[in-house]
Structure 1
Amino acid sequence: MFEGHDPYLVALSVVIAILGGYTGFGLAARIRGTPDASHRLLLAGAAFFLAIGIWTMHFVGMLAAPLPAGAVYLVLPTIVSFLICALVVGISLFFVSVGEPSMLRVVSSAVLLGVGIASMHYVGMHGLSGNFAMTHDGAMVLLSVLIAIATAYGGLRAFLARQGGVQLALSAVAYGFAVAGMHYTAMAGMHLVPPAQGSHQHVDGLAASPQILSLVVALLCFVIAAGFLLSLVPDPRKKAAATTDVVAAIPGAVAFVADIPPADSGAATTSPRLRPTPLGGIGQPPRAPPAPRLPVEGADGTHFIDSADVRSVRADAHYTKVHDGTRERMCPWSISEAEAQLDPGLFVRVHRSHIVAMAHVTLVRKEGDGAIVELDGPSPHRVPVSRAKIAEVKARLGLARRHA
């Protein structure tokens, strides 16, 4: 498969695919933890870096191949191949980033993405022109398409996992080798043969030499490397969330409150005395008082909504999504912090990823091993209830059976 290929360029093509995958998946993993206004920007960035990584890897692999002298690259098919790649990557990421993706949606997106990657490869190959004819082995074409689909499925699964650190790096490495494997499998099935006796192949349209393509590829490699380095910059919101979780986990945590003397005591000018007030009783974990308002992120900054207007809270990576009956917005709290802050007399955690306001429940229905509840508002929505929480939900709704 690699006979006659430049080993250094082959290695570089794999590294490019890995860096592009890491950067793209790293951006995509942040989509569900950001305000709605940032979704499109992150989605476009993830699609851009994944497409750049795939396309650049392809042409570095082409530069590594032993091509006949005088071979050139037609500009139009080369540009079209990149547009195909960017389009299918963007569509696939969009399909699996909206709502809770089903297995059918993930598989369909993987097939679309895999076929798109293979199409990008063969359209790009069609852009190779010179005094030769190109043929493809049908079995290797089919195998390369199957590898592309499997690669796309693994990539989408890595995106849905929304993991970071070592897990993201391992996913990117596997993805990079898989994309490179698809390319070199297809190259193994390609054969360049001399034209028929007396015939001569003419180059139709604007063409670029391998030297010009090398400059373009070098520039894109720089873009990928820059994006990779930027993706390593820690997210300050995650650091803040981690600090909050650590402080909340400290046993015996105390809060200092100001003991301000009455205005008529004559001590208005004295400094207030601070005394520690325990947040929890002996043997009980500390608990914050119920929060009257929840912070939610908007395009223009952080807003606050009354807890009385909250219908449900849904876990979303390190953050949560708060539904106020009209729409869902990102909250910087984790699901555990939201549960600790909200009044347990009004809110129940009905699922490991969902909290609901019981006063707004308008429907409860058994579904599978669990149940679902519907919450009121201008845009009613439904929330799953785990099997372990069904009895508590029914009791809070007055539906529990009474035994003599």
Structure 2
Amino acid sequence: MIEGYDPYLVALSVVIASLGGYTGFSLTARIRSGPGANPRVLLSGAAAILAVGIWTMHFVGMMAAPLPADAVYLVLPTIISFLICALVVGISLFFVSIGDPSPRRVIPSALLLGAGIASMHYVGMHGLAGSFGLTHDPPLVALSVGIAIVAAYGGLRIFLARQDGLRLAISAVAFGIAVSGMHYTAMLGMHVEPQGEGHRHAAIGLAASPQALAIVVAVLCFVIAAGFLLSLVPDRRQPQPAPVVADAAPQLAPEPPAVPATAEPPVEAVLPNRVIAAPLGGIGQPPRVTAARLPIEGANGTHFIDAGDVRSLRADAHYTRVHDGTRERMCPWSISEAEAQLDPGRFIRVHRSHIVAIEHVTFVGKEGEGAIIELDGPSKPRVPVSRAKVAEVKARLGLRRPA
């Protein structure tokens, strides 16, 4: 079946799978690092664009194959094949995004996703009808399923790694080649038998001609290309300055009280869930009370996490999501309340939607008009830095002298 393939359509199918992979992985890369973005929307968009890319690649590959002239596509199996692909992609991405990225989650997700991609292919093949029969070589069927599982595992690892730039492009191309390899391996094991041999695939039910399917596929190709281009657009939103309320009459600030030269350094008094830093030897500002632990909402109640284990906090509507280096969990505090509660010597608000623990920063690099920092931990979370905060972050890291 390999002889007679249209090389241009074969190349187009690989490009479509690669663009779908890049767009889907780019969207998932913003689930934890995207400023102000809804994780559910990003996850749904990533699953949809990956499913569209895989499914469209399949039918472009079908159009590239030298099929009989009277071949038509049954509408119901064709739609079911897409729904299978969308369902397994969504379940797999959701399953690995709700907890630790451990092999216990990644491997079952890869098996599910690979089996779903293979099922999508063979259900779609069942929708091919005409005065002929189809047979498949069992060894090549098994090989195609194995390739699909390996491609799914690599794609999920890319999702968890949240790579960007050139590495993400290379990974997406590799994913596109792997998914296409599964398709063409399965096609290599498929044989078209003349009528009377094997099982005849009669066109029973609503059918679509290859020309109609080509129009649908062309529209989906434009959708993938549009999503790809949109994923390349940088987020240029900057934090809004806080409003300044002027007093009715200007007042002079009182002179700070003199502190004797023999004053002792500040000491920390630890109270339940709070740390109070109070200066001794003089009357000054009220002692700053900072949280030693943060509340975390769970299915069975409220838990607490030590502030020293916190890597970052991300705004999520009126709440925040706390990242401990492994996963995110819901905190009932708003981002402003968290900024007021946490120790400013250890935490810094680097974006209107993000606070990080400066002691856990392991990498800082330029991204767009701002910067990106990476924190330690098993999943190495990444957090954006707004342009207005870059200098302060670098100063806190010892990379630049404070102004």
Q: Same-fold call, TM > 0.5?
A: yes
Q: Report the Cα offset of residue 196 of structure 1.
A: 1.4
For normalisation by structure 2, the TM-score amounts to: 0.64
- Structure 2 partner of 1:302: none
- Structure 2 partner of 1:339: 346
- Structure 1 partner of 2:262: none
Any conservation in 2 of the 1:36–1:330 contact (CA below 8 Å)? Answer: no
Distance 2:19 2:329 in 1: 41
Percent identity at matched positions?
Answer: 63
Taking a change above 3 Å as real, the CA distance of residues 223 and 102 of structure 1, as seen in their structure-2 partners, is same
Distance 1:129 1:262 in 2: 87
Map Cα deviations across residues 36-76 of structure 1 (whole Å, 9 max, x no partner).
97111111000000000000000000000000011000000
Taking a change above 3 Å as real, the CA distance of residues 340 and 219 of structure 1, as seen in their structure-2 partners, is same
Q: Report the Cα offset of residue 307 of structure 1.
A: 4.8
Letter in 2 for 1:113: L
- Structure 2 partner of 1:327: 331
Alignment of 1:28-47 (within 5 A): 28-34=28-34, 38-47=38-47
Letter in 2 for 1:165: G
Any conservation in 2 of the 1:322–1:331 contact (CA below 8 Å)? Answer: no
Letter in 1 for 2:33: G
Distance 2:200 2:145 in 1: 32
- Structure 1 partner of 2:129: 129
Any conservation in 2 of the 1:132–1:193 contact (CA below 8 Å)? Answer: yes
Taking a change above 3 Å as real, the CA distance of residues 338 and 71 of structure 1, as seen in their structure-2 partners, is farther
Alignment of 1:187-206 (within 5 A): 187-196=187-196, 202-206=202-206
Taking a change above 3 Å as real, the CA distance of residues 317 and 230 of structure 1, as seen in their structure-2 partners, is farther
- Secondary structure (helix, strand or coil) at the match of 2:154 reads helix
Distance 2:235 2:103 in 1: 30
- Structure 2 partner of 1:178: 178
Map Cα deviations across residues 79-107 of structure 1 (whole Å, 9 max, x no partner).
00000000000000001111222111100
Q: Report the Cα offset of residue 2 of structure 1.
A: 3.3
Distance 1:175 1:195 in 2: 37
Q: Report the Cα offset of residue 348 of structure 1.
A: 8.9
Could you tell me which runs of 5 or more consecutive residues in structure 1 were left unpaired when the two chains were aligned. Answer: 241-259, 266-291, 293-305, 354-369, 371-404
Could you tell me which runs of 5 or more consecutive residues in structure 2 were left unpaired when the two chains were aligned. Answer: 240-249, 256-275, 277-288, 295-306, 339-343, 350-355, 363-376, 378-403
Distance 1:340 1:44 in 2: 32
- Structure 2 partner of 1:274: none
- Secondary structure (helix, strand or coil) at the match of 2:119 reads helix
- Secondary structure (helix, strand or coil) at the match of 1:21 reads helix
- Structure 1 partner of 2:163: 163
Moved more, 317-326 or 84-93: 317-326
Map Cα deviations across residues 276-299 of structure 1 (whole Å, 9 max, x no partner).
xxxxxxxxxxxxxxxx9xxxxxxx
- Structure 1 partner of 2:297: none
Tell me how large the CA RMSD over aligned residues is.
Answer: 3.8
Distance 2:129 2:217 in 1: 18
Q: Report the Cα offset of residue 128 of structure 1.
A: 0.2
For normalisation by structure 1, the TM-score amounts to: 0.63
Q: Report the Cα offset of residue 340 of structure 1.
A: 4.8
Corresponding pairs, count: 290
Any conservation in 2 of the 1:34–1:330 contact (CA below 8 Å)? Answer: no
- Structure 2 partner of 1:111: 111
Q: Report the Cα offset of residue 110 of structure 1.
A: 0.2
Letter in 2 for 1:96: V
